[in-house]
A = this chain, B = another copy of it.
Amino acid sequence: MSVMEMSHRGKEFLSIIQKAESDLRTLLSIPEEYAVLFLQGGATTQFAAIPLNICTPNDAVDYVVTGSWGDKAYKEAVKYCKPNVIWSGKSEKYTKIPNFDTLEPNPDARYLHICANETIHGVEFKNYPTPIGEKTVLVADMSSNFCSKPVDVSKFGIIYAGAQKNVGPSGVTIVIIKKDLIGNAQGSTPVMLDYKIHAENNSLYNTPPCYGIYMCGLVFEDLLEQGGLGEVEKKNKKKAEILYEAIDSSNGFYRCPVEKSVRSLMNVPFTLAKPELEGEFVKTAAGEEMVQLKGHRSVGGMRASIYNAMPLAGVEKLVAFMKEFQAKHG
Contact = CB atoms under 8 A, between A and B. Distances in A.
A76 interface: yes
A91 interface: no
A205 B171 contact: no
A27 B177 CA distance: 43
Contacts of A52: 190
| Interface pairs A-B: 5 shortest CB-CB | A171-B209, A48-B190, A40-B40, A171-B171, A4-B169
A76 B190 contact: yes
B170 A8 contact: yes
Interface of A: 1, 4, 7-10, 40-45, 47-49, 52, 76, 79-80, 162, 164, 169-172, 187-188, 190-193, 205-212, 215, 291-292, 297
B40 A188 contact: no
A191 B4 contact: no
A69 to B, nearest CB: 10
A207 B10 contact: no
A210 B10 contact: no
Contacts of A44: 191-192, 205-206
Nearest to A39: B41
Contacts of A172: 171
B48 A1 contact: no
Grouping DSSP codes into helix (H, G, I), strand (E, B) and loop, the A interface class, with mixed when no group exceeds half, is: loop
Contact of A193 (B162, B190, B206, B212): B190
Contacts of A48: 190-192
B41 A170 contact: no
8 contacts: A4-B215, A42-B207, A43-B206, A44-B206, A48-B190, A170-B208, A209-B212, A212-B212
Most buried by B among A193, A205, A297: A193
A76 B49 CA distance: 16
A50 to B, nearest CB: 11
A308 B192 CA distance: 28
Contacts of A49: 190
A209 B45 CA distance: 14
Contacts of A40: 40-42, 45, 171, 209
Given A40-B41, A192-B41, A207-B164, A10 B47 contact: no
A169 B3 CA distance: 9
A162 B40 CA distance: 13
A190 B190 contact: yes
A47 B193 CA distance: 12
